Amino acid sequence: MTTPFVSLEQFALLGKTQFEKSLRLANLQLNSYEKLTQLGMNLAKDVLAEQAAAFKSVSEVKDVPSFFAFQNGLAQPSVEKAVTTSRALYEALTDVQAEFAAFAEEEAQVFNRTIVSGLDNLVKNAPAGSDVAVAAIKSAIAAAGNAYDTVSKAAKQVTTELVEVSNTAVEASASSAAAKPAATAARRKPASAA
């Protein structure tokens, strides 16, 4: 009588392992959602507080020069806040992506080990001469794993560089946008003083 490929204990262990993986993935998703939601809530609170302060300040404006001073005072903090917020969002998304990537890489490694282990078990019961075919399959699996690692690392590097370039460009354009209201106000002051 031949023994079954998968024993009842192995099947139970497989079910437990899959349940633990599903639970881990669900926790990753919930933690990611919590991080992003908290970031959004903090942003909403900050915007509300800034709007309240701006409303109070605009109600205290009495003349045209103080209005231009008020307007200039709004531009720079808003630009800085936008840059800070985009950077915080980028960091949160990067953390979330890294957690999911680590999970996926770990699962790919486990999958590859499982296939190799299954092939080893198959070789034990296979006819003579089949070990060459199994070695070729193992070699193909290893090559695919190495190719995946190389492509994954290159993609991460390119993504990181693109985001850094984008952040630098946003900061530069934000700084120039913030400087424009100050230059406009400087040109208006002599005209209003005359």
pLDDT digits (tens, 9 = 90+) for 97-116: 888 888 888 888 888 788 77
86: tokens are 């985009």
Task: Summarize pLDDT for 2-11 with one digit per residue, the tens.
Answer: 444 667 787 7
Q: Residue 3 domain-assigned?
A: no
28 vs 74, more confident: 28
24: tokens are 């881990």
Residue 153 lies in a domain: yes
For residue 72, being part of any structural domain is answered with yes
In this structure, what are the phi and psi dihedrals at residue 72, rounded to the nearest 5 degrees?
Answer: -65, -35
Distances (CA, A) of 11 to 29, 118, 121, 125, 179: 27, 14, 16, 20, 67
Domains: count for the chain: 1
Domain of residue 82 covers 14-193
Could you give the C-alpha distances from 121 to 5, 118, 180, in angstroms and in order? 9, 5, 72
HEC secondary structure over 120-163: HHHHHHCCCCCHHHHHHHHHHHHHHHHHHHHHHHHHHHHHHHHH
Residue 5 lies in a domain: no
Read off the pLDDT of residues 149-173 as tens digits, 9 standing for 90 and up: 787 777 777 777 777 777 677 667 7
Residue 6 forms part of a structural domain:
no
149 close to 72: Cβ distance less than 8 angstroms = no
Is 137 a domain residue? Answer: yes
Residue 103, CA distances (Å) to 34, 96, 156 in order:
18, 11, 15
Give 45 or 55, the one with higher predicted confidence: 45
Distance CA 139, CA 135 (A): 6
Tokens coding 10: 């192995």
Mean pLDDT value across the chain: 77
Considering only residues 107 and 179, tell me which one the structure prediction assigns the higher pLDDT.
Answer: 107
Q: What percent of the chain has pLDDT over 70?
A: 81
Domain presence at residue 139: yes
Q: Round to whole Å and give the CA distance between 149 and 155.
A: 10
Residue 184 lies in a domain: yes
State the pTM of this model: 0.59
CA angle 16, 27, 19 (to 5 degrees): 10
**106 to 39, 150, 165: CA distances (angstroms):** 28, 15, 30
In the chain, what is the greatest distance between 2 CA atoms, to the nearest angstrom?
108
